[in-house]
Structure 1
Amino acid sequence: MDVGLAIGDYLAIGAIFAATDSVCTLQVLNQDETPLLYSLVFGEGVVNDATSVVLFNAVQNFDLSHINTTIAFQLVGNFIYLFITSTVLGVVAGLLSAYIIKKLYFGRHSTDREVAIMMLMAYLSYMLAELFYLSGILTVFFCGIVMSHYTWHNVTENSRVTTKHTFATLSFVAEIFIIFSRMSCGMDAPCSRYCESRRVRE
């Protein structure tokens, strides 16, 4: 059955569908009761999503209608380049945020400024990744890892509590939006087919 798709389209669709969804699993788990399991599931989901995005971007950069060994090596090289550069950018942004909070005076011992710097540096890493056509998800992921190991220990106790609850709230709201959007898409498809069938009958 010919659906008019090229091999690049099949690879792009495969890269999108290959990512597993851990949102529902994370809703069941409790981070305080099972922190290791929660971290493993969360990390696995994020890395899968980031890898899928990087692979999708790598596939889009090549004309795979006439694939050969050279194009295959270029595809693998582009994937490795996007993965490494996105990781390095996230690590650099995380280390820079730790340095700013620890060394510069304007962000020291101020909960508002410390939380703002952490959020803005994470957002800056994402914007830089998108600006240079890298993986924003992977960059933010590694930026968050570095921040949790270095920046987190340079802020005050009030900033730690505020940051923890702020990001937990934002994460929960984002997950709720994802769940509702998927539910609406799932309910919209049968309704669209029903309305289309009614128009055909009329």
Structure 2
Amino acid sequence: FQVKKKQFFRNFMTITLFGAVGTMMSFFTISLAAIAIFSRMNIGTLDVSDFLAIGAIFSATDSVCTLQVLNQDETPFLYSLVFGEGVVNDATSVVLFNALQNFDPNQIDAIVILKFLGNFCYLFVSSTFLGVFTGLLSAYVIKKLYIGRHSTDREVALVMLMAYLSYMLAELLDLSGILTVFFCGIVMSHYTWHNVTESSRVTTKHAFATLSFIAETFLFLYVGMDALDIEKWKFAS
């Protein structure tokens, strides 16, 4: 609801190049570097699947701090690139990590690699279509459901519940929740947005912006407090 969709889809190929292809390059680079570094440090007994999981986790970058510096109105092109790359990067990393769960590195051949790529594409495409379907379903429900018309409370509640429904369906089907919610949000902001009243549009926009800010603040506080946990540092040492 916050991103400008025209800029996003106008630069979709560039965003995909940075977010998906760039993440895959980071994944292979970090995995190979982890194998080289951990083998020299003699840290435990890790197999190839563990190093690949490390590469998938650390290839996910956080663009929240960068977006706080940029202004969407002053630099729309750069903002759309950073925002889109961050979302696609996170989604690609999650899908990649989930695909690695069914990957056996001890039996690597052409068939195994093709199965891995097929599983990755299946998760990515299925999550995307599920998000689009749920977004279109929300637009239809809000337009046709009589009890939700011209009621700001009910319309806002339906928008939030339908967005949450997309995430729950993705988790139940073992798909990527973040990718499903992202495309569901894009579809809802384009179609569902026009089926609600003006007061519901304003309320929904500010409600999602507020929830997003609270979630980001809580995340940074939690990570910072967890990093300063003395007991964990003692255990690690």
Structure-1-length-normalised TM-score: 0.90
Q: Mean alpha-carbon deviation: is it higher for 85-94 or for 16-25?
A: 16-25
Which residue matches 1:45?
86
Which residue matches 1:107?
148
Measure how far apart 1:61 and its partner are.
1.3
Measure how far apart 1:105 and its partner are.
1.4
Provide the C-alpha distance between the structure 2 equivalents of 1:69 and 1:117, rounded to a whole number of angstroms.
Answer: 47
The Cα offsets for residues 155-182 of structure 1, whole Å up to 9 and x where unpaired, read as 1110010001100000000110111122
Q: RMSD in angstroms over aligned alpha carbons?
A: 1.9
Measure how far apart 1:196 and its partner are.
7.4
Measure how far apart 1:39 and its partner are.
3.5
Which residue matches 1:143?
184
The number of residues matched between the two structures is 196
Tell whether 2:236 aligns with 1:185. no
Identity rate, percent: 71
1:92 pairs with 110, 114, 133, which one? 133
Measure how far apart 1:30 and its partner are.
3.6
Tell whether 2:20 aligns with 1:20. no
2:95 pairs with 22, 43, 54, which one? 54
Provide the C-alpha distance between the structure 2 equivalents of 1:192 and 1:92, rounded to a whole number of angstroms.
Answer: 43
Provide the C-alpha distance between the structure 1 equivalents of 2:75 and 2:225, rounded to a whole number of angstroms.
Answer: 31
CA gap 1:114/1:196 in 2 versus in 1, 3 angstroms: closer
CA gap 1:195/1:55 in 2 versus in 1, 3 angstroms: closer
Which residue matches 2:117?
76
Counterpart AA for 2:160: M
Which residue matches 1:6?
47
The Cα offsets for residues 116-153 of structure 1, whole Å up to 9 and x where unpaired, read as 11100000000000001000000000000001111111
